[in-house]
């Protein structure tokens, strides 16, 4: 399943969310994350990167970013 990744900058992080630092991502996931942040638009990812990013609610980069995955094959929205 292919998904599109979007990120949203957030100010506060509820304690229930799983936060990871950008350095904890694999190189492929990190490259995808950088691309989404720099372009400001959703980016399509393969299944491996999708599975990795789906594990995290928030990624700490220069700011805190909420990670969202939208499946291109489903009508619903999945928030990681």
pTM of the model: 0.79
Is the predicted pLDDT of residue 80 greater than 50, yes or no? no
β-bridge pairing 58-60 and 19-21 = parallel
Q: Quote the pLDDT of residue 14.
A: 86
> pLDDT tens for residues 23-63?
999 999 999 999 999 998 899 998 999 999 999 999 999 89
Report d(CA 57, CA 25) in Å as an integer: 13
Residue 76, pLDDT above cutoff 60 = no
What pLDDT is recorded for position 77? 42
Q: How confident is the model at residue 72 (pLDDT cuts 50, 70, 90)?
A: low
Closest Cα to residue 39, out of 78, 7, 71, 80?
7
């Amino acid at each position: 399943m292919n998904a599109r990744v979007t990120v949203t900058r957030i100010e506060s992080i509820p304690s229930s969310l799983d936060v990871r630092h950008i350095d904890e991502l694999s190189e492929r996931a990190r490259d995808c994350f950088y691309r989404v942040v720099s372009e400001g638009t959703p980016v399509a990812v393969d299944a491996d990167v999708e599975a990795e990013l789906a594990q995290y609610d928030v990624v700490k980069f220069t700011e805190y970013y909420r990670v969202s995955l939208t499946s291109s094959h489903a009508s619903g929205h999945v928030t990681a």
